[in-house]
Amino acid sequence: MKTFYSSPHKVILLTFIFLFSLYLISEDSHPFLSCQKEKPVVAKDSIVPWRVPELSAIPDNEEGKQIRLGMDIFNNTYKYIGPEVNDVSKRFAGNDMVCQNCHFKGGTLKNVLGLVGVYSDYPELDPRSGKDISLSERINNCLKRSMNGNAMPDTCGEMNALITYLKWLSTYAPKGTKVEGQGLAKIELLNRAADTAAGRIVFLNNCTTCHAENGGGVLRYPGNVDVAADSMRGYKYPPVMGMNSYNDGAGMYRLLASASFIFAKMPYNDAILTVDESYDVAAFINSAPRPKFPGVEKDYPDLKYKPVDFPFPPFDDNFSASQHKYGPYQQMIKEGETSKYVKPM
């Protein structure tokens, strides 16, 4: 009988089979193992439920220390990078607001700018700049706009801690998926412009208990703060108007964004305002004086990405800056503009 494989050939063949099997095992692809071990498969762009990891799951190691530090920076921003900290080189925030003034309970609440899954979204296209940006660049946008401050270097310890915390928040949100409850719930469009005079009445009746009559917020005092820190001037209730609030380059300066936020959650934990009241009070708040963001007119270099409620020219339509700021928006939407904050008509 003719021999097809000599002994040396058999050794080479067996060696190849062995090495290839090791490779398959390392990739969880071996035919004899694949039926024994389930490997979760997540389809791209699939919707995953809103799930916040348990605090008890934070590891007791260096990464866990960074997660806890990032959480504390997020909840008590003024203590670490506020405008009054002793280390002048750390004064990145331009006001004493904290990250969770907009992203409630450490970014863990859905439908009110929660941050579960955000880590997995970056890098992504930023329509405001017209380029792909990293998560650290997105954080710096908040610092420069909502906190009216300056950018932190990527190598800064506080930046690394914040990113580690956001990564932990996204534990159950694999890259390529979308998380149910991200962003803000959509609201109805009004068929009129927002009314700042009516909004002032809404503000006086519903908002002054927390934000004060002038919208300047209520500061914490040293006797009410549990943890000693360089700066004790964090806000118990944040300013929504005036020079200590967000500047006119912040997302909250846009009417549809702020109205959606107010309708979803304000007054805090007792969201009783109607859609009309939410529009009007948002318009009143954003008609008040506040810091100016330098170069805001350069935002959205590609005009097709410019939001309908962004009130600074140039525009790619014939509507006035006033109408972009206060509405009505229905005709704009019909002419092709869109907003992620409003329900389809």
pLDDT band at 12 (very low <50, low <70, confident <90, very high): low
Fold for 47-184, please state it: Cytochrome Bc1 Complex; Chain D, domain 2 (1.10.760)
User: What value does the mean pLDDT take over residues 30-53?
Assistant: 62
**Does 333 have pLDDT greater than 90?**
no
273 pLDDT band, cuts 50/70/90, is very high
Instruction: Report yes or no: 174 and 120 within 8 Å, Cβ to Cβ.
Output: yes
3-class secondary structure, 324: helix
* Average pLDDT of span 145-169: 98
CA distances from 102 to 1, 148, 174, 319, 338 (A): 82, 14, 24, 30, 23
The CATH classification number of 196-334 equals: 1.10.760.10
The 10s digit of each residue's pLDDT in 300-330 is 999 999 999 999 999 999 999 999 999 999 8
For residue 178, list its beta bridge partners.
Answer: 47
Give the Cβ contact number of residue 7 at 10 Å.
8
Query: What digits encode the pLDDT tens for the residues 203-218?
Result: 999 999 999 999 999 8
Structure tokens belonging to residue 165: 């915390």
Residue range(s) in the chain whose domain bears CATH number 1.10.760.10: 47-184, 196-334
The stretch 269-297 carries a mean pLDDT of: 96
